[in-house]
Chain A
Amino acid sequence: MASLPDEFTDLDRFVTAGWALPGSAERWKRRVTSSTEEVKDLYETLLPRMDAIMTYLDRYLLADLPETDRPLLYLALAFMDVAPTWEVFQAADLPEPAFEIERMHMVERPFPWEERAW
Chain B
Amino acid sequence: MNQPANEQWIRNYPDLGTEQLSTDAATSPEFFERERDQVFRRSWLVVGRQQDVADSGDWFLKEVPSPKASVLVMRGDDGVIRAFYNTCKHRGSKLVHKNCGSGVKGFSCPLHGWVYDSSGNLAFVPDENEFYQLDKPALGLTKINCEVWEGFIFINLDPQPQLTLKEFLGEIHDSYNGYFDGLEEASHYTVTADINWKLLFDVSVEAYHVFSIHPIHPVSDETEKEVGKPPEIPEIKLPHIVLHELHRLVTVPGNPFRPQSPVEQLMIKYGVVSSFTFPEPGEKPADLPVGVNPGNVPAWSFDVLGMFPNNVVLTGRGIYVTIVMWPEAVDKTFFDIRIYMKPVNNMAERICREAIIAMTRDVMREDFDHVEPQQSALSPDAIQYIQLSDQELAVRHGYAALRKVMNEGFRGELVK
Q: Which residues of A contact B (CB under 8 A)?
A: 24, 28, 47, 50-51, 53-54, 57-58, 60-62, 65, 73, 76-77, 80-85, 87-89, 94, 97-99, 101, 103-107, 109, 118
B348 within 8 A of A: yes
What are 8 pairs between A and B in contact, CB < 8 Å?
A24-B187, A28-B361, A82-B358, A87-B263, A99-B365, A104-B365, A118-B99, A118-B100
* Cβ-neighbour of A101 out of B262, B350, B365 (below 8 A): B365
Instruction: Decide if B361 touches A104 in the complex (CB within 8 Å).
Output: yes
Asked, given contacts A105-B189, A105-B190, whether A84 binds B359 with beta carbons under 8 Å apart, the answer is yes
Instruction: Decide if A58 touches B346 in the complex (CB within 8 Å).
Output: yes
Chain A residue at smallest Cβ distance from B261: A87
Q: How far is the CA of A61 from the CA of B344 in the complex (A)?
A: 10
Instruction: Decide if B263 touches A62 in the complex (CB within 8 Å).
Output: no
* Cβ-neighbour of B216 out of A77, A84, A106 (below 8 A): A84
What per-residue 1/0 map shows which CB atoms of B332-351 lie under 8 Å from chain A?
A: 00000000000010111011
Q: Which residues of A contact B346 (CB under 8 A)?
A: 58, 61-62
Q: Which residues of B contact A83 (CB under 8 A)?
A: 261, 263, 355, 358
Q: How far is the CA of A24 from the CA of B188 in the complex (A)?
A: 11
Instruction: Decide if B365 touches A47 in the complex (CB within 8 Å).
Output: no
Instruction: Decide if B351 touches A73 in the complex (CB within 8 Å).
Output: yes
Q: When A and B form their complex, which 4 residue pairs have the shortest distance between CB atoms, in order from nearest?
A: A80-B354, A107-B188, A57-B347, A54-B348
Q: Which residues of A contact B355 (CB under 8 A)?
A: 80-81, 83-84
* Cβ-neighbour of A94 out of B185, B188, B270, B362 (below 8 A): B362
B77 within 8 A of A: no
Residue from A47, A65, A84, A89 with most neighbouring chain B CB atoms (10 Å): A84
Q: How far is the CB of B83 from chain A (nearest CB, A)?
A: 20
Instruction: Decide if A99 touches B187 in the complex (CB within 8 Å).
Output: no
Interface of B is mostly: helix
Q: How far is the CA of A94 from the CA of B350 in the complex (A)?
A: 24
* Cβ-neighbour of B350 out of A24, A50, A62, A81 (below 8 A): A62
Instruction: Decide if A105 touches B358 in the complex (CB within 8 Å).
Output: no
B352 within 8 A of A: yes
B10 within 8 A of A: no
Residue from B192, B350, B359 with most neighbouring chain A CB atoms (10 Å): B350
Q: Which residues of B contact A103 (CB under 8 A)?
A: 191-193, 368
Q: Which residues of B contact A24 (CB under 8 A)?
A: 187, 354, 357
Instruction: Decide if B192 touches A47 in the complex (CB within 8 Å).
Output: no
Q: How far is the CA of A118 from the CA of B270 in the complex (A)?
A: 30
Q: Which residues of A contact B261 (CB under 8 A)?
A: 83, 87
B369 within 8 A of A: yes
B24 within 8 A of A: no
Q: How far is the CA of A77 from the CA of B364 in the complex (A)?
A: 20
Q: Which residues of A contact B351 (CB under 8 A)?
A: 50, 53-54, 57, 73, 76-77, 80
Q: Which residues of A contact B365 (CB under 8 A)?
A: 94, 98-99, 101, 104
* Cβ-neighbour of A47 out of B215, B262, B352 (below 8 A): B262
Q: How far is the CB of A68 from chain B (nearest CB, A)?
A: 15
Q: Which residues of A contact B215 (CB under 8 A)?
A: 88-89
